[in-house]
Amino acid sequence: MKKHQLNIIILLFICFKVIGQTKQPNFLIILGDDINAKDIGCYGSENKNTTPNIDKLANEGILFKNMFVSEAICAPTRAELFTGMTPNKNGCNINHATTKQGTLSIVQHLNKLGYRVGLTGKMHFRPTSVYPFEIIEGFTKNANYDGTPPENWDGVSEFINRDKNQPFCLIICSVHAHAPWNAGDSSLWDPNTIVLPKHLVDTKETREYFTEYLAEIKLFDEQVGNARNLLKKNNLEANTALIVLDENGAGMPSGKWTTYDIGVRSACIMKWPKPFNNKFVTNAIAQYCDILPTLIEAAGGEVSSNLDGKSLLPLLKENNTKHRKYAYFLYNNTKEGPEYKMRAVTDGTFKLIWNKSPDNLYAIRVINGFDFGYVDKMEDRHVRKMYLSWLAKAGYDKNASEIVQRYRKHPDFELYNLNDDPEEMHNLIDNQELNTIVNELKNALISHMKAQEDRFYTVN
């Protein structure tokens, strides 16, 4: 071989090497629906054999121990994830609300960087002008689907293989484990021996529905496994960042629709292509609004200053343990019942909850809407039947009565040590030794609310 030919080959090799290192990664996000992070194996679930695929991914990737949603309801969670903005900033701060017109979402941000951006499954966001996803058929959009919905992966396969020269971002939005809990094989667990969270009243109905809920989590886990296999089959895994999220907590009392950890703490597992680090667990505090800026920066874009989120890339590149000092939460109920608003903040150890309407009864229409006269069109709603069994037991059982009262009535402030009391069952607000921590968290929360133009920052 002549010298000039050898030089050309070496030059081409260097070019291909550089191109391989700078090629934009694909993004695949798999989003669950109403799943408690603590019911996933790698997050310490005591009910085994539910999430083998997610657990395997966690062993190979990055597990976030302190990833949070700002508001534990479906529409606000999705709006935060897709806009990189918190609920008050993007406008979707109650369920079923519309994101502010003119807001840019993941679609516009990544389209600008050359990506095609698609979504299959549950939507629960609007308007289309903000969220102009390419909608891919194959997964049900109906979160209230009765039974196990069919799945067809053909559309997903076509989307990710359409053009190997164009990067893609695909979001698979599962309806598992949204109620009703009647999908999957619940025979894998014995209702009499499963471990229930402490904030649930132990009744026959609770155990039956919780077992069905575990079966739906397993269906979500199978979707994660199928997605990984599809990437491997099409030789896309090496350049695809895979992100698995469980959305907000389960649609059971004291989970979804609250600022308790069971509602706002989200599972988040990421596996990134080289040169990013994998195989580590991080305790860094992060929120859903941080994910979009991360994707933008990883794609080679510049993160807009109007986003509330902060890119996680420094953490991913350097295994940083710090990202945010605090995470902030809110809850606004709909107009269907007595006004109820919650605001909260955590530093990762302590959580302060500020109930803005403590004199009002806390009520969720699908659970205890009958407390304010709501007549549900769905007579056999699972969560309400669960709650009615609680009321029956509360008539003769002290522990059940205390859990029901905890659910229906909240004090002005609640303080929890998340290390000692992860299920937030023991309110420490009257502990005088913790006054300094209370004041620090209260000041941080008020400052945040002012910055978010949240008019409820004044003291009751």
Ordered per-residue pLDDT tens for the chain, 460 residues: 444 444 433 333 333 333 333 589 999 999 999 999 999 999 999 999 999 999 999 999 999 999 999 999 999 999 999 999 999 999 999 998 999 999 999 999 999 999 999 999 999 999 999 999 999 999 999 999 999 999 999 999 999 999 999 999 999 999 999 999 999 999 999 999 999 999 999 999 999 999 999 999 999 999 999 999 999 999 999 999 999 999 999 999 999 999 999 999 999 999 999 888 899 999 999 999 999 999 999 999 999 999 999 999 998 887 667 899 999 999 999 877 788 999 999 999 999 999 998 889 999 999 999 988 888 888 889 999 999 999 999 999 999 999 999 999 999 999 999 999 999 999 999 999 999 999 999 999 999 999 999 987 665 5
Model pTM score: 0.93
The pLDDT of residue 14: 36
User: What is the edge-to-edge ordering of all strands in the sheet holding 134-135?
Assistant: 134-135, 116-121, 168-173, 26-31, 240-245, 265-271, 62-68, 280-287
According to DSSP, the β-strands at 134-135 and 116-121 are parallel
Q: How far is CA 93 from CA 88, 219, 239, 443, in A?
A: 6, 29, 35, 22
Please tell me what DSSP assigns to residue 345. E
pLDDT tens column, 320-332: 678 999 999 999 9
Distance CA 442, CA 353 (A): 9
Query: Tell me: domain 25-324, CATH 3.20.20.150, correct?
Result: no
Domain ranges of the chain: 25-324, 329-457
Facing residues of 28 across strands? Answer: 170, 242
Facing residues of 324 across strands? Answer: 285
Query: Cβ(137)–Cβ(120) under 8 Å?
Result: yes
The pLDDT of residue 335: 77
Which residue's entry shows tokens 């695929």? 53
pLDDT tens column, 228-279: 999 999 999 999 999 999 999 999 999 999 999 999 999 999 999 988 889 9
According to DSSP, the β-strands at 327-332 and 341-346 are antiparallel
